[in-house]
Structure 1
């Protein structure tokens, strides 16, 4: 691994059950676990291998699906590249659970503008391949939380988990975020797909395409171009064609036919746009004409 490369490992930790320092038997029943996502970044500095852990703790009950997972991964990549502008290449690694190994996650990562051109590969491990860096980090944090509770503190929500980790992490370098996710439509209409994705384990990102292998470097590869050529949702096509910046889209004189350009705010306040923004472009006109 070169000094301008970063290797990132992802995994969802087992949900943490809220705990009080003193609780009766009734407090134990009906508990709902708190979701935590862990990412560990490795980088070589001279002869030393450095690591930095990112922990995302979710305030509310969430689906650990491709949308949540890809948004979390993109946040980690954005932080790493923003704070380390000298990094040129990023390699990703995770297990092959469905929220990671799916077309939605791979396409969302590829279309993430801050990391565009930096992501080189995404490799998936075999099922039941043992414990990794994220499991070690999770074990360290949970041990620290247990000590924090035994000192007379309650840990029953995401913010208290963050406080417990920060006060007991000792020499572990980490960034911890408490994340709030807005309620959204969980329907998977027009979901993108990559044929036979479950049989592939090694993905290499190239300009305009994706090259995959069943086993790393063994045999002929398969070149998937179509899924990564362009965004297929209505909002994605607007972004590709006109550009969306801070929620605003600007139409030039050649579009408006006026002497000056027009800037519009795209948001959920516009009920029609909110309904069609995530639809496949081929279904938008059918919806508008109905």
Structure 2
């Protein structure tokens, strides 16, 4: 998982005033990688093999544009929900992320145990970071494809000699842009809204603010279990979560084979 560079407002024609003081939208990308068993057949030379599969997940932050450990933790929770519902055969997860400071934050590392404790799905067993000069990964390649999709499929489209002009300025518009024309094949788009009250309790717990904060945080986490509602393909739909994000909308869903 990795953050894409801040997505700035995009218009077909933008003025100097539109480009002034832009903060950008936080765009987090997670790529779910797993192996699919392929039975012996004539196509593979009658030899059973494990086929590598990838399922990119675009996560757009709907509240603010922060990129810290608590934000990554919320995105990770939303990602685990997708894995629990869609990839129910997965039992263990190995996380691999960029080497940025937000992925080394104690607000991310320590509360992972909460996700393992409260989630009825797979458990995170290892967390690894690549070296600085390891090069680009699957998240970077998907970011390039997604950026091109927004430019060519949404900002300026032409159909029946009619030019359609769209804007991708807000998080909702960016999510709609990513899923336009059916979206990117074999991927999903999430619009995530954070619950800052619960995140503050997590932050107090990580900073050692005292036992009351720990108890309140634990009770809050246990009082609202995760929903198992399956996200349908197409259209925005509410998806219940555990305790960090107050709302997740699945905008585009292309089921993995």
TM-score range, shorter chain: 0.5 to 0.7
Segments of 5+ residues of structure 2 without an aligned counterpart are 38-49, 158-164, 226-257
Contact 1:145–1:168 (CA<8 Å) still a contact in 2? no
Residue 72 (structure 1) shift: 0.9
Contact 2:2–2:98 (CA<8 Å) still a contact in 1? yes
Distance 1:22 1:240 in 2: 50
SS of equivalent to 1:85: coil
Higher relative contact order (CA 8 A, sep 6+): 2
Distance 1:82 1:161 in 2: 24
Provide runs of 4+ in structure 1 moved above 4 Å.
168-171, 182-190, 238-243
Contact 1:96–1:127 (CA<8 Å) still a contact in 2? yes
Residue 243 (structure 1) shift: 8.2
Residue 224 of structure 1: aligned partner: none
Judged with a 3 Å threshold, the aligned counterparts in structure 2 of structure 1 residues 243 and 189 are, in CA distance, closer, same or farther, namely closer
1:202-222: CA deviation from partner (whole Å, max 9, x where unpaired): xxxxxxxxxxxxxxxxxxxxx
Residue 132 (structure 1) shift: 0.7
Distance 1:243 1:64 in 2: 23
Q: Does 1:136 align with 2:114?
A: no
**1:179-218, aligned counterparts within 5 Å?**
179-183=192-196, 191-192=206-207
Q: Does 1:149 align with 2:155?
A: yes
Distance 2:216 2:97 in 1: 32
Judged with a 3 Å threshold, the aligned counterparts in structure 2 of structure 1 residues 28 and 106 are, in CA distance, closer, same or farther, namely same
Residue 224 of structure 2: aligned partner: 246
Residue 94 of structure 2: aligned partner: 91
Supply the RMSD in Å over aligned alpha carbons. Answer: 3.1
Residue 18 of structure 2: aligned partner: 27
Residue 177 (structure 1) shift: 1.3
1:93-133: CA deviation from partner (whole Å, max 9, x where unpaired): 01221211133212211221206872121111112421111
Residue 236 (structure 1) shift: 3.9
Contact 2:204–2:213 (CA<8 Å) still a contact in 1? no
How many residue pairs get matched?
Answer: 201
Contact 2:55–2:187 (CA<8 Å) still a contact in 1? yes
Larger Rg: 1
TM-score, normalised with respect to structure 2: 0.68
Q: Does 1:104 align with 2:107?
A: yes
Judged with a 3 Å threshold, the aligned counterparts in structure 2 of structure 1 residues 181 and 136 are, in CA distance, closer, same or farther, namely same
SS of equivalent to 1:91: strand
TM-score, normalised with respect to structure 1: 0.61
Distance 2:135 2:87 in 1: 31
Q: Does 1:36 align with 2:27?
A: yes
1:49-76: CA deviation from partner (whole Å, max 9, x where unpaired): 2111111112232321111111111221
Residue 128 of structure 2: aligned partner: 123
Judged with a 3 Å threshold, the aligned counterparts in structure 2 of structure 1 residues 18 and 117 are, in CA distance, closer, same or farther, namely closer
Distance 1:37 1:172 in 2: 18
Q: Does 1:172 align with 2:175?
A: no
Residue 63 of structure 1: aligned partner: 66
Judged with a 3 Å threshold, the aligned counterparts in structure 2 of structure 1 residues 234 and 169 are, in CA distance, closer, same or farther, namely farther
Contact 1:93–1:124 (CA<8 Å) still a contact in 2? yes
Distance 1:242 1:160 in 2: 32
Distance 1:38 1:186 in 2: 24
